[in-house]
Chain A
Amino acid sequence: MAVATARRFVAVEPRGVPTLWVRVASPVVAIIGAGLAGAVLLLATGHDPLTAYRGIVRASFGNKFGWMSTLISATPLILTAVSAAVAFRMRVWNIGQEGQLYLGAIAASGIALALGDHVSAAVALPLLLLAGIVGGAVWAALAAFPRAYLRTDEVISTLMLNFIALYLMNYLIFGSVSFWRDKQNIGFPSGRLIPDNAQLPNIWLRLHVGIVIAIVVAAALWWWLRSSRWGFDLRVIGDSVSAARYSGMNVARRTVSVLLVSGAIAGLAGAIQVSGVTQALQPRSLAVNIGYTGIVVAAVARLNCLAILPVAVLIAGLSNAGSSLQILGIPSDIVLLLQGVVLLLVAASEFFLYNRIRVEWPWRSSSQQA
């Protein structure tokens, strides 16, 4: 009964395209809101939120080593976020970045190990990155073709492929004595180290050149989505599949291509992680939710490939600060919770960006009602 009467007085109406100011403000408000929610939880459990937040900022952005680790962690996040943004733009819900990243890592480390010391870095590095791209794209193809031609739901299939890839990677290192595994050390399963010439060079302290690659890829995709025919088709299909069909677009082919590109970028992230950070196929260091966190980054950046850059740095800093919170006696899990709440609030803000809520107070004259 209450709902029925309320419906008469609360009207939801769509508003036009939100201004740039509103679009920038909404994630900022979401982040502040998540900070407040976290503060309430911290206070309720006997911790000082100011200490915690100061600890996060200090650990991740307080000195050059903090910045270095933050940027190292941001590198693959930028790529998995771009991967998600490209697909989500077309309303193709590739949530398989985890698995595509693992396959990229498996392919890249495989190529690097196969080439060995015989080739120079100028040959090894491009081949390694290419292998990652192909690995990720092939894994995405397993979901792309059924989605495009049989309408198999890609949310479920890409999600399932994540777990298959995880167990495959675990099998290569922990479950068998494979090509990827360090055979010297059978008692302690570990990936075999890739040769020096297949490792990405550092540009600042231990920050490797992968960050430059990631920024270039993000900028290129931003430009490509804006100004190419492909990007235009993507947006049209995202808005209305039937309108796209009427105008003669080959929706199935675009679906395949967007998923392959998306998978390739996630695979590249895997190659860069292997080459720049883990230097071997190390499941424990690779399976740290880079894919899922990338989706968080993409959503907070509202699928804008340039906005992904600062958001990735912010989220990477937040994730990295966990261990220093532990030292302050605060469970590090708070940073994960904060990420989740930011994502919930950003998702909620989407509604208020595009809709206005008008309350018709019952005691006012009803002449204003449309």
Chain B
Amino acid sequence: MAVAIIVAASLNDSVAVRSAVAAIIAGTPLVLAAVGEVHAERSGVMNLGVEGMMLIGALLGIVGTIAGGSPWIGLAAATAGGAALAAIFAVLSVSLRVNQVVTGLALVIVGTGLSSYLGKVPDPALTDRGAVQSFDLIFHGGLAKLPLIGPLLFGQDPVVYISWLIVGASSYYLYRTRAGLAVRAVGEDPATADAAGIRVSLVRYVHVIIGGALAGMGGGYLSIAITGIWQDQITAGAGWIAFALVSFSGWRPWRVLLAAYVFGALSSLNFTLQALGIKIPSDLLSMLPYIMTIVVLIIVSATSSASRALQAPAALSTPYIRESR
């Protein structure tokens, strides 16, 4: 018995378990933002502006936590900020049918400029403040000390569990409900969906805004729980990785969850490898998610008939014009 406890305790201290925990934490902003983007892209709208929405979320996460005195208020502010930016994108891309690539890039630029500007407005500037209060763990003591599953399943902060719920709910919604079927129909063939009585513009508005809300929440989690502070461009490209994850995962929520942890593991792998005495240049490790995404994308497009289920929605990034039906 005593031996078992010692083995268990050392297992939880092992490099593997610690890296897995680190991967889950690093992957959670990616999970949230990427699942949000799945909603938008499943409805046929490609929002390249994830990085911009995450940055606004990250800023408001810190502002909300300081002003409201609770990380939950910060997370709510972050979610609202991401949704607001996405609403602007929705007006342009859905109602005004503007090119989504250009508008998405504009959203990144606006989000970057606005968040960096606003971070310097308060006195003292947000960049000069200490770490904010983060989320309390839910499970204390016993459960979290269980071997292996303890730290992984019971050692997380509540937002991690929320992200699992969101992934499950998104998967169920998109693939098991009539409303989700309508969303996918709009993304595949908006003209037919329109003829079947589905309100194409409304569906796209709602899902672009859901996407922005989740990207904002991801940014908020990143600043509140991971860095604890605000700095210019604190997301450091997490938004782009989240965007890549969506196509890497074949536009499927559950795959997004797994892939986000893989990408999260890659970003924390550096420390793991160092702990094990293996030296791989960090720049080459940082490349991996992007290389993997391109390779998967090319393989999927090369075997289009076999893996139709993993293809992009057919009407992705095509504005819908009713007159041209």
Residues 137-183 of A contacting B (Cβ, < 8 Å) = 142, 146, 150-153, 155-157, 159-161, 163-164, 167-168, 170-171, 174-176
B188 at the interface (CB under 8 A from A): no
Give which listed residue, B240, B281, B287, B301, contacts A152 with CB less than 8 A: B301
A50 at the interface (CB under 8 A from B): no
Are A344 and B297 CB-contacts (below 8 A) given A164-B291, A170-B283?
no
- The contact sample of 7 A-B pairs, CB cut-off 8 A, is A151-B304, A155-B48, A163-B237, A163-B240, A168-B287, A296-B105, A299-B102
Min CB distance, B9 to chain A, in Å? 37
Point out the residues of chain B lying under 8 angstroms from A331, CB to CB. Answer: 116-117, 120-121
Residues 323-354 of A contacting B (Cβ, < 8 Å) = 331, 333-341, 343-344, 347-348, 350-351
Contact indicator B106/A340 (Cβ below 8 Å) = yes
Q: Mark B287-315, 1 if CB is under 8 A from A, else 0.
A: 10011011001100110100000001000
Contact indicator A334/B281 (Cβ below 8 Å) = no
Contact indicator A337/B96 (Cβ below 8 Å) = no
Binding site for B on A (CB under 8 A): 3, 14, 41, 45-46, 93, 95, 142, 146, 150-153, 155-157, 159-161, 163-164, 167-168, 170-171, 174-176, 292, 295-296, 299, 331, 333-341, 343-344, 347-348, 350-351
Point out the residues of chain B lying under 8 angstroms from A159, CB to CB. Answer: 48, 240, 243-244
CA distance A163 to B105 in the complex (A): 15
The chain B residue with its CB closest to the CB of A292 is B105
Point out the residues of chain B lying under 8 angstroms from A157, CB to CB. Answer: 294, 297-298
Contact indicator A175/B116 (Cβ below 8 Å) = no
Contact indicator B113/A160 (Cβ below 8 Å) = no
The chain A residue with its CB closest to the CB of B319 is A351
CA distance A146 to B281 in the complex (A): 29
Binding site for A on B (CB under 8 A): 46, 48, 88, 92, 96-99, 101-103, 105-114, 116-118, 120-121, 202, 232, 237, 240, 243-244, 247, 281-284, 286-287, 290-291, 293-294, 297-298, 301-302, 304, 312, 317, 323
Give which listed residue, B98, B247, B283, contacts A350 with CB less than 8 A: B98
Contact indicator B113/A336 (Cβ below 8 Å) = yes
Point out the residues of chain A lying under 8 angstroms from B103, CB to CB. Answer: 344, 347
The chain A residue with its CB closest to the CB of B284 is A171
Contact indicator B109/A339 (Cβ below 8 Å) = yes
The chain B residue with its CB closest to the CB of A176 is B281
Point out the residues of chain B lying under 8 angstroms from A174, CB to CB. Answer: 283
Contact indicator B110/A340 (Cβ below 8 Å) = yes
Contact indicator A45/B121 (Cβ below 8 Å) = yes
Contact indicator B109/A340 (Cβ below 8 Å) = yes
Contact indicator B109/A351 (Cβ below 8 Å) = no
The chain B residue with its CB closest to the CB of A94 is B101
Closest 6 pairs (CB-CB, A-B): A337-B113, A340-B109, A336-B113, A340-B110, A333-B116, A171-B283
Point out the residues of chain B lying under 8 angstroms from A334, CB to CB. Answer: 113, 117
Point out the residues of chain A lying under 8 angstroms from B116, CB to CB. Answer: 331, 333, 336
Give which listed residue, A167, A338, A348, contacts B92 with CB less than 8 A: A348
Are A351 and B113 CB-contacts (below 8 A) given A295-B102, A295-B105?
no
Min CB distance, A299 to chain B, in Å? 5
Contact indicator B113/A348 (Cβ below 8 Å) = no
Contact indicator A337/B92 (Cβ below 8 Å) = no
Are A338 and B291 CB-contacts (below 8 A) given A156-B244, A351-B96?
no
Contact indicator A337/B237 (Cβ below 8 Å) = no
CA distance A153 to B100 in the complex (A): 14
CA distance A93 to B107 in the complex (A): 17
Contact indicator A351/B105 (Cβ below 8 Å) = no
CA distance A175 to B116 in the complex (A): 28
| Contacts A167-B286, A333-B113 known; 18 new A-B pairs at CB < 8 A | A93-B101, A157-B294, A157-B297, A167-B283, A168-B283, A168-B287, A170-B283, A171-B281, A171-B283, A176-B281, A292-B105, A333-B116, A336-B112, A337-B117, A340-B107, A340-B108, A340-B114, A344-B92
CA distance A350 to B106 in the complex (A): 14
Point out the residues of chain A lying under 8 angstroms from B317, CB to CB. Answer: 155
The chain A residue with its CB closest to the CB of B244 is A160
Are A160 and B294 CB-contacts (below 8 A) given A292-B105, A344-B88?
yes
Contact indicator A155/B105 (Cβ below 8 Å) = no
CA distance A168 to B291 in the complex (A): 12
CA distance A333 to B293 in the complex (A): 32
Min CB distance, B320 to chain A, in Å? 13
Contact indicator B113/A347 (Cβ below 8 Å) = no
Contact indicator A351/B240 (Cβ below 8 Å) = no
- A142, A338, A344, A351: which has the most chain B beta carbons within 10 Å? A344
Give which listed residue, A14, A93, A161, contacts B294 with CB less than 8 A: A161
The chain B residue with its CB closest to the CB of A345 is B106
CA distance A168 to B286 in the complex (A): 10
The chain B residue with its CB closest to the CB of A335 is B113
